[in-house]
Structure 1
């Protein structure tokens, strides 16, 4: 592949990655505590959209803090998997295999 063609392909791929990132802002990940008293919603870009806390949980500060950590970490982990899978798919689909370029989009 000629250099100009490769540069054009690279720009095209970067645009597709930007478009994918915008779309991932609309993909919502929901996570909740096992008893359902705490619910969290994140985008696939790991932006917190909402946190819902049942009144009963407000009476136990330690449990609330524990739940926030657990539920947020689980939601972030799920969002990260979705995010990476989507971006990897775009990068792999469009990129010519150039040594050393595979870390460019991480």
Structure 2
């Protein structure tokens, strides 16, 4: 039983490492602001189009930046949850034998 629990913990750590290499992207205003994140919800890049930056005001940039960040974090959450759910089902299937199922 302990071995299966250790294997489950190791699998969870491997998934977390893998999710650090999965990237999601979001953009607003037809690419004026682009944000990249890992599936573990770490923002890795923010790009603001130079022409947009020159003509936009501070409040507009801040508002759109928040929107893009929230979009990319939602996408990261979706990927993360999907991966974790699949892994949990795999782990529970493996743990079922532990309880005679």
TM range (shorter): 0.7 to 0.9
Structure 1: gaps of 5 or more residues: 1-5, 98-106
Structure 2: gaps of 5 or more residues: 97-101
TM-score, normalised via structure 1 length: 0.80
Q: Which runs of 4+ in 1 moved over 6 A?
A: none
2:32 maps to 1:30: no
Instruction: Name the one with the larger helix percent.
Output: 2
Matched length: 92
- Distance in 1, matches of 2:84 and 2:2, equals 19
Q: CA RMSD in A?
A: 1.3
TM-score, normalised via structure 2 length: 0.84
2:46 maps to 1:51: yes
Q: 1:92 is matched with which residue?
A: 89
Task: Tell me, yes or no, if the aligned pair for 1:57 and 1:63 is still in contact at 8 Å.
Answer: no
